[in-house]
Each structure stands twice: as C-alpha cells, then as structure tokens.
Amino acid sequence: MKKIAVALFTFSTLMTSSAHAVGNFSVGLGPVGNVYIVDARPELDPGVGGILYFDYRWTPQISTQFGVLVTTEDGTGISNGDNGIEFLGIPTFDLKFFVLSSPSRWDPYALIGLGVYAVSEGSVNNGTVAVGVGANVGIGTDYYLTENLSLGFAGVYRSIGLIDSTSGANNGTALFPFSLMGNVAWHW
C-alpha cells in the first residue's frame, strides 16, 4: 500500500509541479498535418509539413506567436494527378490566451489569429497558384519537461480566401484546412 501511495504522490507531483518557462521568449518547431474540411479548388489530400515559430509571452495569460508554416499536398477529386502542391503560411500571427494563471507543467491555451497564405503550382500547370489572407482559431497545450524545454500539441482551424487570377469573373477560391501540430520549444 505504501508503494502505491508513493507512486500516486510522485505522479501528482509530476503533473502539478511548477516547471514553468523561465522567461518570456520562446522559439519552436514541429510537424504539421492538414486535413481539408471542405473541398475547394484545388481539392487537396491531407498533407504533412512543418512549422517554425517565435513566441513572446506578454503576461502569464497572453502571448503573441509569429510563425511560418509549410506543407505538401497532392491533388484529389478534380485536382487528381496534380501532386506536390505547397501550402504556405508566411507569416501567421496568433494571439494565445492561456487558461491557467498559476505555474504548472501543463499550459493549455486557446488561440485566434491571421495569416498570409499561398498555394504553389503542383506537377500540372493548371493555375493552382493563389495568394490570400485567412483567419485561425484553435486550442492547444504545452507540457514543460524543464523550465527551458516544452513539448506541445495544437489543433487549428483555418478559413482562407485566396485570389488565383487577376483576370476574369471567377478569380477567387477558398481553403478550409484543419491543422494538427506538434512542437518542441525552447524558452528563455
């Protein structure tokens, strides 16, 4: 019984001990996977890529994050055969609202933001290139391994309006990806 009590105390201490960030700055990187909620032009299969970001924590509850997002998708449906399409978020800007006010290893948050997005031409020259602006909304959490190192996970929904031509009546499109992201961050 004593071993069980010690194990529960150790687990409880690990989950609530205050290995919170030592400073206001952080830089991180990690994998990203996109799943497209609504078919649009181009129609894209789920794709993978990465994110690199810089974050500044203004207060214990609020931070701003600037990032660069790059993923590679293949076409599906009406875009079938158009492979190697790059989806870019250059840059993205998010305002993060942290839920917990007291230091903890777990640091959950909600985010809202904007980004400049682009889609590159794939393997078929069919006018896939597009640029536009989009809105982001999501939730996530960071887990502090030490005061300087954290691991994180987030889910972000993006609604993006794109311009794919400067001529003709139909020169716009939209993408609606849901991004699942992981990260490793260094805090100072």
Q: How far is CA 107 from the centre of its chain?
A: 16
Domain that residue 51 falls in: 19-187
In a domain, 8, yes or no: no
Query: What string of DSSP letters covers 52-115?
Result: EEEEEESSSSEEEEEEEEEEEE-B-GGGTT---EEEEEEEEEEEEEES-SS--SEEEEEEEEEE
Structure tokens at 12: 């409880």
In a domain, 5, yes or no: no
**pLDDT at residue 3, rounded to an integer:** 59
Structure tokens at 85: 């399409």
Q: What's the DSSP call for residue 146?
A: S
pTM surpassing 0.85? no
In a domain, 24, yes or no: yes
Average confidence (pLDDT) over 156-168: 86
**pLDDT at residue 125, rounded to an integer:** 75
> How many separate domains does the chain show?
1
In a domain, 163, yes or no: yes
- CATH number of the domain encompassing residue 33: 2.40.160.20
In a domain, 95, yes or no: yes
What's the first-to-final CA gap in the chain, in angstroms?
A: 41
**pLDDT at residue 168, rounded to an integer:** 67
In a domain, 148, yes or no: yes
Looking at the chain, the whole-number percentage of residues with pLDDT higher than 70 is: 85
Average confidence (pLDDT) over 133-156: 97
